[in-house]
Amino acid sequence: MTNKKLNLKDKYRLLTRELDWEFSYADRKQAFPYEEFEGIKITDWSKWEDPFRLTMDAYWKYQAEKEKKLYAIFDAFSQNNGHLNVSDPRYVNAIKLFLTGITPLEYQAFQGFAHLGRQYGGVGARVACQMQSIDELRHVQTQIHAISQYNKYFDGFKEWTHMQDKVWYLSVPKSFFNDARSAGPFEFLIAISFSFEYVLTNLVFVPFMSGAAYNGDMATVTFGFSAQSDEARHMTLGLEVIKFLLEQHEDNLPIVQKWIDKWFWRGCRLLSIVAMMMDYMLPNKVMSWKEAWEVYFEQAGGALFKDLARYGITMPKYAELVSKEKEHISHQTWWTFYTYGQAAGFHTWIPTDEELDWFSEKYPETFDKYYRPRYEYAKQLEKEGKRFYNGTLPMLCSICQIPLLFTDMDEPDLTSHDCHHHDGDQYHFCSEGCKEIFIEEPEKYVQAWLPVHQIYQGNCGGPGLEEVLTQYYRMTMGEENLDMKGSPDEQRWKKWKGVA
Amino acid sequence: MPIQAYFDNYKGEVKDRVENFHGNQLVYVNWDQHLLFSAPFTLMVTPSLTYAEFIKEVLPTAFNQHPQWSEVNWQTASWLLDGRAFTPQMKVSLIDQGINHKSFLRLQTPELTGIANASV
């Protein structure tokens, strides 16, 4: 037996190309049944350029190193009572939203990529997806472990898996991924690897993780950085798949462009939660949502789409509209959560006077005109002991499932709305972008589990809102929900810090 | 194409058909330019409810937290039903004047400009 040591390239070739086999007695189409129904044409899988070129043993080694460092920091964080170092207890609510809203998506990503890791006909693509699926599972675990320290000291964390399937606003991220996972394998990859990971994820991982650093949250910063090196690989996969599909066959172009348009729009709607977290939930600010959008999409994304122009790809259809909305969405979203604060699994509050001034400075075109008056009125009510809670269920968009809280960018004080008739029923949307997604595949979206409609159908306990919150959502009134002021979180914090 | 499906003739189950609401129906209502309420409301009503009852009994439960609600002049207020101008008949039931399951009503009171005249 020779003892020749293989180099990485040879190992990789053996792992991928050489491990595959030709189908001699079985029908290849039966082995990879999902490869054709979306209309994508693959003529030659061997043209796939592997973006990672990682062998399994190298992968385990790198990841193990990262884990070792990560868990050493988690241990130190825990032993040093790291939760006491956050800038302000309000900050922890952003982490609650991260764990309940985003961590479950990592798990859905794991499931989605595991499926692709079996279903693609090309072995290079399969291996890349298998590795990404393991990455995603690692992200779920590290996020749970990073955040578990907060669960010992703050409300709002303990029922996160239960809440994911039930709570009204968590249906927004959940249905986003359900939409992608119930699509075919190529749409999933364009949706998640390209539109989300490549085009939009930087907005979660860069400014939001800096926000964690600015606010003294070492645990989140550390998992953020640990995940970031994986994200870089995932982005490479996103770009590779676009180039591969477009080089395979010219008929793929209109399909790919349609998916880019759809998933860019869906991604932007989903990111309204991140916009709100950045502007309203980080007591020490890094940059405004508007600035983040300009840096990470308008500049970086602009360059990317210029690059892709040679394949015939154009800017996502609603990019210009989103550039107008960047002036509004964080304010509109927080106002919605503030006013429905009794139904949120985290605390809400009126921004401080300094924060209101910061918004005026960062959003000179919109904040004082449209949004400051709401907070001034809320302050007045709070002073009178009548903190405002909206007790009536909102109207939801049939696609993004977000309440119709966005306004018309030509008339920013009018609610944006669109509708469509299908098979004798009416469907309503927050925007033309969401309506177009519906029209493309109505038989998919008529099945949407819209939380407000489910409550009215009696499928979420009740009949009262309080029963839905306490029994179906498993919230304890006044612990997870309601205002930050007077919350048990705030009281405990004051006790730890020795302030009255 | 109604769906990009792996199976032929794929048909989705309509989750929100009117039969699922136990004899009731949904009506969405927005009061334009009063964004104290961040989004329009989803209300569940009996289709045989008259418009007068709807205004008197149902709408206040949703809107009366707004200080301008009591100032709405019902003689001059205008309505849009599913995007078209609509003159409600007070004594007629909702369903008999075309307010169907998941219809969208918009109330417009241009003289009331919201809290601080800021459409709040």
Q: Pick from A434, A407, A472, A380: which is nearest to A168 by CA? A: A472
Q: Pick from A236, A402, A397: which is nearest to A329 by CA? A: A402
Lowest mean pLDDT among A138-147, A211-220, A229-238: A229-238
- The answer to whether residue A3 scores a pLDDT higher than 80 is no
Contacts 24+ apart (CB under 8 A), B47-50: B47/B93, B47/B94, B47/B95, B47/B101, B48/B93, B48/B94, B48/B95, B49/B93, B49/B94, B50/B90, B50/B91, B50/B92, B50/B93, B50/B94
Beta carbons of A283 and A215 less than 8 angstroms apart: yes
Whether residue B2 is contained in a domain is answered as no
- The answer to whether residue A462 scores a pLDDT higher than 90 is no
Beta carbons of A173 and A104 less than 8 angstroms apart: yes
For residue B1, what pLDDT is reported? 58
Contact A184 B120 (CB under 8 A): no
Beta carbons of A273 and A345 less than 8 angstroms apart: no
Burial-class residue A364 by CB neighbours within 10 Å (0-12, 13-18, 19+): exposed
- The answer to whether residue A287 scores a pLDDT higher than 90 is yes
**Of the partner residues A392, A450, A453, the one whose CB lies closest to the CB of residue B41:** A392
- Cβ neighbors of A196 (< 8 A, separation 6 or more) are A263, A267
CB-based burial, A306-324: b 16+ in 10 Å, e otherwise = eebeebebebbbbbebbee
Contact A390 B65 (CB under 8 A): yes
Whether residue B40 is contained in a domain is answered as yes
For residue A372, what pLDDT is reported? 98
- Count of the separate structural domains present in chain B: 1
Q: Which residues of A touch B65 (CB under 8 A)?
A: 388, 390-391
Contact B39 A415 (CB under 8 A): yes
Instruction: State which H helix or E strand residue B53 sits in.
Output: helix B51-53
Q: Which residue in B has a C-alpha nearest to residue A182's C-alpha? A: B5
- Cβ neighbors of A279 (< 8 A, separation 6 or more) are A285, A288, A289, A330, A331, A334, A359
For residue A415, what pLDDT is reported? 98
What are the sequence ranges of the domains in chain A?
34-349+388-497
pLDDT digit string (tens) for B47-91?
999 999 999 999 999 999 999 999 999 999 999 999 999 999 999
For residue A1, what pLDDT is reported? 55
Burial-class residue B75 by CB neighbours within 10 Å (0-12, 13-18, 19+): exposed
Whether residue B43 is contained in a domain is answered as yes
**ipTM of the predicted structure?**
0.98
For residue A500, what pLDDT is reported? 72
Q: Pick from B54, B120, B12, B88: which is nearest to A407 by CA? A: B120
Whether residue B107 is contained in a domain is answered as yes
Whether residue B19 is contained in a domain is answered as no
Whether residue B91 is contained in a domain is answered as yes
Structural domain harbouring B87 = 29-117
Q: What is the mean pLDDT of residues A342-365?
A: 98
CA distance B89 to chain A (A): 23
Q: What is the mean pLDDT of residues A392-417?
A: 98
For residue A289, what pLDDT is reported? 96
Contact B42 A394 (CB under 8 A): yes
Average pLDDT for chain A: 94
For residue A207, what pLDDT is reported? 78
- The answer to whether residue B93 scores a pLDDT higher than 80 is yes
Structure confidence at residue A24 as a pLDDT band (50, 70, 90) = very high
Contact B3 A442 (CB under 8 A): yes
For residue A400, what pLDDT is reported? 98
- The answer to whether residue A265 scores a pLDDT higher than 80 is yes
| pTM exceeds 0.90 | yes
- The domain A34-349+388-497 is placed in CATH, from the list 1.10.620.20, 1.10.10.10, 1.10.3710.10, 3.40.50.2300, at 1.10.620.20
Q: Which residues of B touch A33 (CB under 8 A)?
A: 6
Question: What is the Cα–Cα distance from A474 to A352, expressed in whole angstroms?
Answer: 30
Q: Pick from A105, A115, A111: which is nearest to A186 by CA? A: A115
**Of the partner residues A425, A441, A449, the one whose CB lies closest to the CB of residue B2:** A441
pLDDT digit string (tens) for A239-252?
999 999 999 999 99
For residue A13, what pLDDT is reported? 83
- Where is pLDDT greater, at A46 or A403? A403
- Cβ neighbors of B14 (< 8 A, separation 6 or more) are A423, A425, A446, A447
Between residues 206 and 225 of chain A, which touch chain B (CB distance below 8 Å)? none
- Where is pLDDT greater, at A302 or A86? A86
CATH number for the domain harbouring residue B101: 3.10.20.560
